Amino acid sequence: MKKILLLLFSIFLLSFVGYNPNSEKPKYFEGQITYDIEYAPYEKRFKAEKIKKHLGSKMVLTFKDGDYKKEYFAPDGKLLQVRALNLKEEKTYLKLHDSDTIFWFDITKNESFTKFEILKDSTVFNYPCKVVKTNTTMTIKNFSNESVDLDAMYLYAIDLPINAAWYENYYEGNFNEIAKVGEGIALLSIIKGLYWEQTIKVTSVNKRKVKRSELTIKIDKDAPLKEL
């Protein structure tokens, strides 16, 4: 379970950031982006609408200086979970709607390996994008410690750049290397998971100033913390 959650964290981060090494002093993206999320289960026992109720059909990304907050909403508008990356603390935090516990993991630890290749450029939401295909290898105890390969594809907007140096210590999933390949915020992600294919597609882009307070998860002083 730990490695599955770590993989999801890595995939979710891969699903919206990249870097343009040829840019000269670019104005890095800051603002908020909204996405729709669709699921295509591999087996009939998994229903797309039920998955949406538990994992979300909409995601709102708030982004500034490499840090982010991602909020996942059910079809009825209910907030299901919040994820936040704090680069200064080198941690990612997770808060579920039905638990007081705050989960976190150390981004400097690497428990999976991701390789990638650059495909032909494309366009999403009128943004020119670099297309990056990834393959992540990890070992899951539920699979008798056998290695599992998971594929994904991300379309990074060249005109929504970020700085790869922000992620130099983000070793989980080899993201410190992945960050040097993309061209910016990913506007379309197609992730082939263990039980279904997930598609995360942009519906709106809002470039604006973001307050640091918008990037944090509200943590009660008595809330339990648990490392993943």
The pLDDT score that the predictor gives to residue 31 is 98
CA distance 85 to 66: 8
The Cα–Cα gap between 187 and 159 comes to 11
**pLDDT tens-place string over residues 91-147:** 999 999 988 899 999 999 988 888 889 999 999 999 999 999 999 988 776 656 678
pLDDT tens, residue by residue, 168-215: 999 887 788 878 888 789 999 999 999 999 999 999 999 999 999 999
The single-letter code of the amino acid at 175 is: F
Given a contact cutoff of 8 angstroms between Cβ atoms, the answer to whether 150 and 135 are in contact is yes
Domain range summary for the chain, segments of one domain joined by +: 2-220
The DSSP output letter for 218 is: P
- Lowest mean pLDDT, pick from 59-73, 137-151, 163-177: 137-151
Q: Which CATH class is domain 2-220?
A: mainly beta
Q: Which amino acid makes up residue 228? A: L
Q: 3-class DSSP state for residue 112? A: coil
* Cα 226 to chain centroid, rounded: 20
pLDDT band at 26 (very low <50, low <70, confident <90, very high): low
The token pair that represents 144 in the structure block: 């008798």
C-alpha–C-alpha distance, residues 133 and 117, integer Å: 5
Q: What is the number of other CB atoms lying within 10 angstroms of the CB of residue 37?
A: 18
